Amino acid sequence: MQTTGYAAFNPDSPLAPFSFERRALRPNDVAMEILYCGVCHSDLHTARNDWGWSYYPIVPGHEIVGRVIEVGAEVARYKVGDHVAVGCMVDSCQECDQCHHGEEQLCREGNTGTYCGVDRINGENTQGGYSKHLVVREEFCLRMPEGLDLSKAAPLLCAGITTYSPLRTWNVGPGSRVGVIGLGGLGHMAVKLAVGLGADVTVLSRTKDKESDALALGADRLLVSSDPEAMAKAANGFDLIIDTVPVKHELDPYLPLLDVDGTLVIVGQVGPMNELSTVPLLLGRRRVAGSPIGGIRETQEMLDFCARKNILPDCEMIRMDQINQAFERMEKADVRYRFVIDMASLSAA
Ligand code: NAP
Ligand code: ZN
C-alpha cells in the first residue's frame, strides 16, 4: 500500500514530506487509516539521532490512533471501522517468558519498535505514525474504548503507558506519596494517572512557572527543584519518584527526598547520567530503577482505566506541516502538554 507521511532525512534538517510503501497485509495484519498521532520527545531524539541508532529516512510517531480499513484473513479481534491504537511496539518474539507474561516491551529478543525497528519477517526498517496509514499485526493493536475522545487520546499510547506502568509496578494507590520530575508530556500524564490511582502527588519542576498548571492537573503541590531549602524540607517524603527529564542530569538532589525503601524510577534520559553519590542510597535503603513503556495487556488496561476515570492528556492540535515548529517548542519545554497531529491535515500539507 502506497502511503505518505513526514520523515527526517538526516539529523540536521527539518522533517519533510515522504512517500513510501506499507507492506501488503499478512493474514494476521490490520491496516488502519491514522487519524491522530502524538508528538513524543523520543520522536525528536530519534529524528536528531541523539541515541545513535536512527536510520534515514525515518518517519517518527508512536502515539497512534486510527480506524481499521482492512483486515487479514485470520484477524479475529478487529473489523473494518473499529477505532484502534498503536503505541511504541509493533512486534516481539511472542515466545519468551516475558512475552508470555504480557511484558512484550521486555521481550528477550528485543521488541520491534514502531519506528527505529526492523520487521521480523521481511527485514525492512519500520516507519511510525507521522503518516496516513499503518499496517500492524493484530496482537499489537489496541482497542480504543468507547467514550474516550479520539482527538485527545493518542498521547496515552506512549506518555500514558510509560508512566502508568511504573505506577502499577510500584503498587501506587491511596496513601502513596508520588513525585514527578519534569512537567512535560510524560510528566503531566504521570500526575493525572497517579491522582486517578488515589496518590498524593507532587510535581518537581525547575521553576514555579507551572504551579497553577500542576494544581489544575490534580497535583497536590509543586516543589521547585532548584530551591535547596524547599528540597531539604521535603526530605524522606516520597515512596516513588518518576523522573521524566529528557537529558543527562543530577540525581543527587532528588535521592534524599525518598523515604526508606523508596524508589526513583527513570523513564526520561536514555543514556549516561551524571555521577551519583551512593550515600543516600545506602543509608536509606533507597533504589534507583528504570522502566520502559509497558506491555500490551497493561496498555489496554490503562486505556480502559482512562476511559472509566475520564483521564485525557492536555493536547495542542497541530497540522502535519507544523511539526518542525512543534519540535522547536518541545526543545524549549514550551508544550502544554502534548502536541497531537491531526492527520487529516496531511493531504493538505
Ligand atoms: P517533554 O514533553 O519535552 O518534557 C520533559 C520535561 O522535562 C520538560 O517539560 C521539563 O519540565 C523537564 N526538562 C526539560 N529539559 C530539562 C533539563 N535540561 N533539565 C531538567 N528538566 C528538564 O518530553 P517527554 O515527551 O515527556 O519525554 C521525556 C523523556 O522521556 C524523553 O527523553 C523521552 O525520550 C523519554 N521517553 C521514555 C520512554 C520510556 O519508555 N521510558 C517513553 C517515552 C519517552 P519542567 O519545565 O517542569 O522542569
Ligand atoms: Zn514516546
Q: Of the residues 37, 42, 164, 223, which should be mutated to test ligand 1's pocket, given the most ligand atoms within 8 Å of the CB?
A: 42
CATH class of the domain whose range is 2-157+294-348: alpha beta
The two beta strands, 338-342 and 315-318, are: parallel
So what's the pLDDT on residue 347?
Answer: 75
pTM: 0.97
Q: How far is the CA of 278 from the centre of ligand 2 (A)?
A: 30
Report whether residue 5 contacts ligand 1, using a CB cutoff of 6 Å: no
Q: Kindly list the distances between the CA atom of residue 141 and the CA atoms of 71, 79, 83, 102, 186, in Å, as whole numbers in the listed order.
A: 12, 12, 10, 14, 21
Distance of CA 309 to the CA centre of its chain: 19
So what's the pLDDT on residue 340?
Answer: 98
Q: Of the residues 46, 245, 336, which should be mutated to test ligand 1's pocket, given the most ligand atoms within 8 Å of the CB?
A: 245
Identify the nearest ligand to the CA of 128 by its number: 2
Q: How far is the CA of 292 from the centre of ligand 2 (A)?
A: 10
Report whether residue 66 contacts ligand 1, using a CB cutoff of 6 Å: no
CA distance 85 to 37: 10
Domain ranges (residues) in the chain: 2-157+294-348, 160-290
Report whether residue 244 contacts ligand 1, using a CB cutoff of 6 Å: yes
Residues of the chain with pLDDT under 50: 348-349
Instruction: Domain 160-290: give its CATH code.
Output: 3.40.50.720
Which grid cell is 254? Answer: 532528588
So what's the pLDDT on residue 303?
Answer: 98
So what's the pLDDT on residue 326?
Answer: 98
3-class DSSP state for residue 10? coil
Q: Which of 40, 52, 47 is nearest to 272 (CA)?
A: 52
So what's the pLDDT on residue 139?
Answer: 98
Q: Of the residues 116, 161, 186, which should be mutated to test ligand 1's pocket, given the most ligand atoms within 8 Å of the CB?
A: 186
Q: Whose CA is nearest to atom 8 of ligand 1?
A: 184
CB 182 within 8 A of CB 268: yes
Q: Whose CA is nearest to atom 25 of ligand 1?
A: 41
Q: Which of 148, 123, 226 is nearest to 182 (CA)?
A: 226
**Helix, strand, coil percent content, the chain, rounded in steps of 5:** 30, 25, 45
Q: Kindly list the distances between the CA atom of residue 56 and the CA atoms of 6, 18, 59, 97, 147, in Å, as whole numbers in the listed order.
A: 12, 11, 9, 33, 38
Q: How far is the CA of 69 from the centre of ligand 1 (A)?
A: 34
Strands, E, within the chain: which ranges?
2-7, 16-21, 29-38, 64-71, 83-86, 89-91, 112-113, 133-137, 142-143, 177-181, 200-205, 221-224, 238-243, 258-266, 287-290, 315-318, 338-342
